Amino acid sequence: MDQAVFKQMEWIRNQLTVKLAEETNPEILDRIPSGFNNSIRWNLGHILHAQEQMVFGLAGEQVTLPESYEGLFGNGTKPGDWTTEPPSLETLIDALKEQPARIQQAFSDRLETPLVKPFLSYETIGEIISFSLFHEGVHIGVIKGLQNALKGER
pLDDT band at residue 154 under the 50/70/90 scheme: low
Cα–Cα dist 87/115, whole Å: 30
For residue 5, the model assigns a pLDDT of: 96
What's the whole-model pTM score? 0.95
Query: What letter would DSSP give residue 124?
Result: E
Flag whether pLDDT at 46 surpasses 70.
yes
Any idea what the Cα angle at residue 104 is, between residues 102 and 106, rounded to 5°? 70
Average pLDDT (121-144) is: 97
For residue 118, the model assigns a pLDDT of: 86
Burial class of residue 99 (count of CB atoms within 10 Å of its CB; 0-12, 13-18, 19+): buried
Amino acid residing at 94: D
Which tens digit of pLDDT belongs to each residue from 70-110? Answer: 999 999 999 999 999 999 999 999 999 999 999 999 999 99
Cα–Cα dist 49/19, whole Å: 18
Cα–Cα dist 150/22, whole Å: 17
Q: Which fold has domain 1-21+39-153?
A: Four Helix Bundle (Hemerythrin (Met), subunit A) (1.20.120)
For residue 57, the model assigns a pLDDT of: 96
> How do the domains of the chain map onto residue ranges?
1-21+39-153
